Structure 1
């Protein structure tokens, strides 16, 4: 069913351009299926998690955070990158506590998706956290966030206004709407 060999791009050469704390950037020269060559700029990322934390009152726990590439603050799910060798669940537990102060009784793996496969290999694990207990947040020293609790309608309005617009939070919002529509918890 997934016969895609005719689409394959063979790597002819790779040049490492940049290696930072969060990403690596390389440029590959590839042989295209039609015999021509092309350059592909590729961002390597070790993967990340995001947590759709839902309170017993049916509210989403999110964070408002300034994002330098956008030059503004947006509202998004608590999230963070996986440390080398770290299990996604352990990262989800850590990030929820660090960014919001909340701890959860239950974490359910909801989805796994590539954030932007046209140029990056980042794979994101999306968890739903329930049975929340409020505590004290402990953000990283270079991380400044406001914790917000949103009803589904408030989250929809922030999405319409563009204040929610990152892929992980939009995916979670659609999943939350689907849960509400189908009456599942």
Structure 2
């Protein structure tokens, strides 16, 4: 019974996410802007490049030319944008527009950037960080941080698997995986 319930919930979630992924409104773009300030695009770019050593290991015997691997990486910006678009739903589930605006302002500040980069904070920056985490948005972020991280991890995992399969299909379509 529980397995059937989990499958049903997962199906409903996937369908709703699929419908939502096709829609990006102003709020969604604001979340994506906040994610850019937070460094999620850089994280996605690193994850994008992590896919290729795995592909190369899997198909090392095929002796695929370096130019082919370079060609497969030409859509990095598009793939990173796709991850950010999908990743915004993790934040959207838990934060409202005011929260996102507050986070954006915080992440755009010197104190916010130093905090994100895990740099040593000056007394002034530490004060600003402490003040932010006492705000409604800061408290909500603390409360929802784990849930957001879990959702982002799942989105990243799904995105990475889809990217791997897409690149494998491109190799097959290009005739590079023939026996």
Asked whether the two chains share a fold, i.e. TM above 0.5, the reply is no
- More helix, by proportion: 2
Whose strand proportion is higher, 1 or 2? 1
How high is the TM-score relative to the length of structure 1?
0.21
Q: Which has the larger radius of gyration?
A: 2
TM-score, scaled to structure 2 = 0.21
Structure number with greater CO (CA < 8 Å, separation at least 6) is 2
